[in-house]
Amino acid sequence: MSETVEVIGADQDEAVPEETDTGTEESSPDADDDLLVQEGDIAGDYLERLLDVLDYDGDIDLDVEASRAVVSIDGGEDLEKLVGPRGTVLEALQELTRLAVQQQTGTRSRLMLDVAGWRAGRREELRELGRTTAESVLSSGERVRLQPMSPFERKVVHDAVAAVDGVRSESEGEEPKRRVVVLPE
């Protein structure tokens, strides 16, 4: 059984246990990219079948960014239903897609799914929240506890706070009520 260690400022999508290569073959960047492209293809097929079952229209875009497969669904009506309130349906759909990929590849996927540009838009909102909260803490000297967030959301806020000198952030609480706290250094 492998042990996972949480890194403050990292979410479950970003933190990956370190693996050691015990075989004789070394992993090459091309082999890693090939695996990510394969993950994207499997995810795209899975999501295409899902859209067909739901009778939703949407264009599926596959990409590789920052050593992870990225799949986006855009262009259709009713796609906001695949996002749900505060991205809850999107998170569940992403996890199901990762499981579909894992079932075919035999390895855990770090695939990122976005629907109708929601995740990209939310990322910008959270960067602004992290920046303004950090500046507020810097000027007041008082710590600020933000509302509970998903691991994805906390990671974005932690990164934004880290860009401001004189403040730091940490996560507190247990899922699903885990939150970011911004403190003076």
Using the 3D structure, point to which of 61, 91, 116 is the last residue of a domain.
Answer: 116
Verify that 157 and 135 share a domain, yes or no.
Answer: yes
- Write the pLDDT tens digit of every residue in 61-108: 999 988 999 999 999 788 999 999 988 999 999 999 999 999 999 999
Using the 3D structure, point to which of 99, 116, 133 is the last residue of a domain.
Answer: 116
Verify that 109 and 34 share a domain, yes or no.
Answer: yes
13 in a structural domain: no
- Domain that includes residue 166, residue range: 120-184
For residues 32 and 145, what is the distance between their CA atoms, to the nearest angstrom? 39
23 in a structural domain: no
Identity of the amino acid at 122: R
Verify that 59 and 112 share a domain, yes or no.
Answer: yes
Verify that 144 and 161 share a domain, yes or no.
Answer: yes
58: pLDDT strictly greater than 90: yes
Is 80 in contact with 90 (CB distance < 8 Å)?
no
H or E segment at 27? Answer: none
What's the CA angle centered on 155, arms 151 and 156, to 5 degrees?
120
- Write the pLDDT tens digit of every residue in 123-180: 999 999 999 999 999 999 999 999 999 888 999 999 999 999 999 999 999 998 999 9
Q: How many independent structural domains does the chain possess?
A: 2
Verify that 53 and 93 share a domain, yes or no.
Answer: yes
Verify that 59 and 72 share a domain, yes or no.
Answer: yes
Using the 3D structure, point to which of 116, 137, 166 is the last residue of a domain.
Answer: 116
CA dihedral 176, 79, 41, 106 (to 10 degrees): 30
Verify that 140 and 104 share a domain, yes or no.
Answer: no
Is 111 in contact with 94 (CB distance < 8 Å)?
yes
What pLDDT score was predicted for residue 76? 78
Q: Which has the closest alpha carbon to 73: 62, 64, 81?
A: 62
Q: How many helices (H) and strands (E) does the chain have?
A: 4, 6
